[in-house]
Amino acid sequence: MKLTIGHLYPDLLNLYGDRGNIQCLRKRLEWRGIEAEVIPFISGDTIDFSKLDVVLLGGGSDREQELVCSHLQKIREDFRTYVEEDGVVLAVCGGYQLLGHYYKTQTKTIEGLGILDIKTEWEPERLIRNIVLDSPLFDTPVVGFENHGGRTYIGDHTPFGKVVFGLGNTGKSGQEGVIYKNVIATYLHGPLLPKNPHVCDYLLEHALQRKYGTEIHLEPLPDELEHKANSYIADRYNDKKYVLKETIKRYT
């Protein structure tokens, strides 16, 4: 078995270790004896989505998102078809925003792909902190780090998770990210996957199932360190005393 992972625009969209998500996808396949090929697509490259099994769209500053926008418009229809045909996508922060209709920054409106029925609008106070989610997809919490000026309004979409600690899509809705078909779109950097191996395996299993047409359950890996990293953050923010201290520190 083999999966091909397309890393879209690492020259522009690669904040806070998003590239680590690629390493994690690749290693967790290789550790199970499954071949992994990673193809980085620099802005302007032609992308043949029919050859891809997993697509990663990382985060970027407002400026980088503006630069990437014209390239995204050229691949819009192929990307949409890939998603509608159950292609697996992980979109993080700036990449998440660009899957929607638009991101209205302080100065301009950046047109998105319109694959998700969502919109994002900038507000002056950035939403920055560690974040813990309770996702309907998993029993284990999802942990990460968020840093965004955009507020994302997801309409009728299903959120990736309920915010246990942190701010999420708008800082007010109590929701974070979007799940749509085999797309996970989220504000969680960190990078997301090494601290959340369950999310990584979820994406890989769906990509393998789509490609090989049978239900696939990946064999477990010795994830003690990964689980420690995850529960260190999840437990820290479940501790009410700590949360209170953090909140006071942030607002004083």
Q: Does 112 bind ligand GLN (CB under 6 A)?
A: no
Q: Does 154 bind ligand GLN (CB under 6 A)?
A: no
- Amino acid letter, residue 160: F
How many residues contact ligand GLN, by CB under 6 A? 12
Using only C-alpha atoms, what is the Rg of the chain?
A: 17
Q: Could you say which of 24, 69, 93, 200 is catalytic?
A: 93
Site for ligand GLN in 187-246 (CB under 6 A): none
Return the range that interacts with ligand GLN (CB under 6 A); candidates 54-62, 164-172, 173-181, 211-219: 54-62
Are 33 and 72 spatial neighbours (Cβ–Cβ below 8 Å)?
A: no
Residue 206 designated active-site: no
Q: Does 144 bind ligand GLN (CB under 6 A)?
A: no
For residues 132-153, b (16+ Cβ closer than 10 Å) or e, as one string?
Answer: bbebeeeebbbbbbbebbbbbb
Task: Tell which phi-psi region holds residue 213, choosing left (phi > 0), alpha (psi between -120 and 50) or beta.
Answer: left
Q: Among 125, 133, 132, which residue's Cα sits nearest to residue 151? A: 125
Alpha-carbon separation of residue 175 from 42, 103, 109, 111, 208 (angstroms)? 32, 18, 24, 23, 29
Determine which residue in the list 4, 43, 61, 109 makes contact with ligand GLN, applying CB under 6 A. Answer: 61
Q: To the nearest whole angstrom, how small is the minimum distance from the Cβ of residue 148 to ligand GLN?
A: 3
Q: How far apart are CA 159 and CA 154, in angstroms?
A: 8
SS3 per residue for 129-195: EEEEEECCCCCCCEEEEEEEEEEEECCCCECCEEEEECCCCCCCCCEECEEECCEEEECCECCHHHH
Q: Does 93 bind ligand GLN (CB under 6 A)?
A: yes
Our CB check for ligand GLN shows the closer of 105 and 182 to be 105
Return the range that interacts with ligand GLN (CB under 6 A); candidates 147-155, 170-178, 200-208, 234-242: 147-155
Q: Does 170 bind ligand GLN (CB under 6 A)?
A: no
Residue 189 designated active-site: yes
Q: Could you say which of 157, 189, 198, 206 is catalytic?
A: 189
Are 39 and 4 spatial neighbours (Cβ–Cβ below 8 Å)?
A: yes
Our CB check for ligand GLN shows the closer of 149 and 177 to be 149
Q: Does 60 bind ligand GLN (CB under 6 A)?
A: yes
Q: To the nearest whole angstrom, how small is the minimum distance from the Cβ of residue 94 to ligand GLN?
A: 3
Determine which residue in the list 87, 94, 100, 144 makes contact with ligand GLN, applying CB under 6 A. Answer: 94
Q: Does 186 bind ligand GLN (CB under 6 A)?
A: no
Catalytic residues: 93, 189
Q: Which residues bind ligand GLN (CB under 6 A)?
A: 15, 59-62, 65, 93-94, 147-150
